[in-house]
Chains A and B, each alone.
Chain A
Amino acid sequence: MAEKIKILYLDDEMDNLTGFKATLRLDYQVFTAVNIPGAMEHLEKHPDIRVIFCDQRMPVKTGVEFFEGIRSTHPLPMRILITAYTDIEAVIDSINRGNIFRFVKKPWAEAELISAIEEANKFYQANSMLAIKNEELQKAYSELDKFAYSVSHDIRGPLSGILGAINVAREMYDIAEMKEMLFLMEKSLKKLDTYILSMHDYYSLQRGELQICEIDFKKMTDEFRDIYKVFSNSADITFKVNINQREPFRSDTVPLKLILNNLLSNAFKYQNKNNDAKLVELNIEVNKGVATIVVSDTGIGILGNHLGEIFNLFYRASSQESGSGFGLYNVKSALLKLNGQIEVNSVLNKGTTFKVTVPTK
């Protein structure tokens, strides 16, 4: 069952508070206060109080004044004024100054209270939803901005390079030089291709639904072993894989592969060129419903002050090799979908270790 809605009632008459609590405590979590400091204490302790009832006639401050006072500090809870008599002046005041959602007349009827709470709760939920959606929208906008900037550089960059090369080629007669340039052109095009593929990953991670199935890590990593064999042979990097899976594991293959692929390709890419014993290690252990994936390398490492930013979209912590700035951001998005966690440890010029934990579904 969902948690009970929290409501607060402020009234200087103890009898009213007792009666109120007795009526509603089965269906709601009721907090009561006999004065304003008491009410504030509840509000501080329980920021998720959704509805506040307050008596209008109190010593020190009126109900409207109390609501007015907390308007900026506690804007979220819905406010309901309880009053024995009303003149139009008080009504106008309470709406304009106190931002009141409803009035309840004293003495109250139980049904009236409940309907007021339920209505207020609907408003509260709609408002909270709006705030969440708004935040999501802000995030989407800011990513869109970054996207537009990155697209104009990361896509236009290689293209303008290729165009420049074609221009230069018109006055080039040396075949060796031409071949050197073709090699560099190919490199630029591959970088562009990687960028576009990662952009697709980005999109499918943001919008796609999960498809859960049985995961056999042994089988999955065999694929990677084949892919990276080429890498490890040509660059003389030892690739060690160690899988320890004795229980079934359920998850989505696509984001899992994406995580592994990104971490492994980084581990192979950012190797220390002067190191004689280059190593990439992949350890996967499945235990008590949690898969722990550790990818470590003997690479160039990441400077401490860049570590906090490597999971940001389009952030690149190295000028070595062709990063797109998508990789680790996509890893993070994939882990968000799988309820997973990632940790990173890195020592400059020694190597980097990523540790990923993913629970089974």
Chain B
Amino acid sequence: MKDLSFIIIDDTELDHFIARKVITNANKNFNVKSFLNPYQALEHIAHPDYDEGIKIILVFLDIYMPLMNGFEFVEQFEKLDPKIQEKYYIVALTSSVEVSDINLIRSYKSFKARVTKPVTATGLNTLLTKVGKEYNLETGV
């Protein structure tokens, strides 16, 4: 399972726990990194040290966070080296059904997908199938 790895950015511990559980339930070999603080996550992404074999890193990014929300995060992300950017696939995580949020998410090119919280096995499966097709990957689920 070297093609894919995961980063979760969320200010709620329970949501980390659930996302991690759902991801490792799908395949226990998936590598998952957790960040409660979006600044640290950005720092991590800006200085990549992932396995050479990893083709794409899925970033589950919570939209509603204090200090730096998902939109601000993506704006910072888009300033990074394009070579770094293309390695990441950012998925917006929302618990809300706010139309304004959904439209805003659509307006950023870096948000490749949107998943409603809580993350479920079916939701993850749909996402992985989509990513697998787009990048021609063996997602293992």
Contact = CB atoms under 8 A, between A and B. Distances in A.
Interface of A: 149, 152-153, 156-165, 167-168, 171-172, 180-181, 184-185, 187-188, 316-319, 323, 325
Nearest to B117: A160
A152 B98 contact: yes
18 contacts: A149-B98, A152-B96, A156-B95, A157-B12, A158-B14, A160-B95, A161-B15, A165-B18, A168-B18, A168-B22, A171-B25, A181-B17, A188-B14, A317-B67, A318-B67, A319-B36, A319-B38, A319-B66
Contacts of A318: 66-67
Contacts of B64: 153, 157
A187 B14 CA distance: 8
B95 to A, nearest CB: 4
B141 interface: no
B17 A165 contact: yes
B67 A161 contact: no
Contacts of B21: 168, 172
B96 A161 contact: no
A161 B11 CA distance: 12
A323 B11 CA distance: 11
Complex A-B, nearest 3 residue pairs according to Cβ-Cβ distance, in ascending order = A164-B118, A316-B66, A184-B14
Most buried by A among B13, B25, B65, B95: B95
Nearest to A184: B14
Interface of B: 11-15, 17-18, 21-22, 25, 36-38, 64-67, 95-98, 116-120
Contacts of A181: 14, 17
Given A160-B118, A168-B17, 10 more contacts: A149-B96, A157-B117, A161-B118, A164-B117, A165-B17, A168-B21, A181-B14, A185-B14, A316-B67, A318-B66
A123 to B, nearest CB: 41
Nearest to A155: B95
A303 B113 CA distance: 33
A153 B118 contact: no
Contacts of A184: 13-14, 17
Contacts of B37: 319
B7 to A, nearest CB: 16
